[in-house]
């Protein structure tokens, strides 16, 4: 009886876990591509942030490599990654607000601000840790400016 019960519970649990996984990952390749770019941003920001916080010793070369990657990420042509119907109202796994599709010009301007901040980081990263710290603040501001306007809060 006990065994049957635990198999039943395990079954329920796995259904629940699979259910959660499905709810969080989009079926839409465009949304997956967007999310992947964000993860690449996070990975490279992590390398810079570790140095800014003093968790990792400052290394001009490693910092420059990470900053170069950020610049490359801002240069990816995302025009095919934002098809109609990939906002959070149509796809619950996305946090992209429908306002994006009504304000492409402003989204573009905010993207340009991010690109400028990444270029500034490229210079700062090779300079010294104080310059890196300052550039980190501006990068964060550029990320937040877009997220504040166009990203839904976490559930």
Q: Which residues bind another protein (CB under 8 A)?
A: 41-43, 45-46, 49, 52-55, 133, 136-137, 139-141, 143-145, 147-148, 151, 153-155
Report in angstroms how near the CB of residue 133 gets to another protein at its nearest. 8
Cβ neighbours for 73, distance < 8 A, ≥ 6 positions apart: 37, 40, 41, 44, 118
Residue 3 vs 148, nearer CB to another protein: 148
Residue 111 vs 140, nearer CB to another protein: 140
Look at residue 151 and give its three-state secondary structure: strand
Report in angstroms how near the CB of residue 43 gets to another protein at its nearest. 8
Report in angstroms how near the CB of residue 144 gets to another protein at its nearest. 5
Report in angstroms how near the CB of residue 82 gets to another protein at its nearest. 19
- Tokens 């964000």: give the residue: 38
Helix and strand element counts for the chain (H, E): 6, 0
Report in angstroms how near the CB of residue 148 gets to another protein at its nearest. 4
Residue 90 vs 144, nearer CB to another protein: 144
Residue 32 vs 133, nearer CB to another protein: 133
Cα torsion angle, 26, 30, 32, 35, sign: negative
- Tokens 């504040």: give the residue: 148
The answer to whether the CB of 85 falls within 8 A of the CB of 100 is no
Residue 44 vs 86, nearer CB to another protein: 44
The answer to whether the CB of 81 falls within 8 A of the CB of 131 is no
């Amino acid at each position: 009886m006990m065994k049957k019960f635990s198999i039943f519970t395990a079954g329920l649990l796995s259904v629940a876990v699979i259910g959660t996984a499905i709810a969080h990952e989009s079926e839409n390749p465009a949304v997956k591509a967007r999310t992947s770019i964000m993860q690449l941003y996070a990975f490279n920001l992590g390398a810079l942030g570790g140095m800014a916080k003093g968790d990792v010793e400052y290394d001009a070369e490693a910092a420059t490599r990470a900053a170069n990657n950020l610049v490359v990420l801002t240069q990816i042509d995302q025009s095919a990654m934002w098809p109609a119907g990939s906002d959070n109202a149509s796809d619950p796994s996305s946090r992209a607000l429908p306002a994006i599709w009504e304000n492409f010009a402003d989204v573009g301007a905010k993207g340009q601000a991010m690109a400028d901040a990444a270029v500034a980081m490229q210079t700062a990263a090779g300079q010294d840790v104080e310059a890196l710290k300052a550039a980190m603040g501006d990068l964060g501001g550029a990320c937040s400016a877009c997220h504040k306007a166009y990203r839904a809060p976490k559930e």
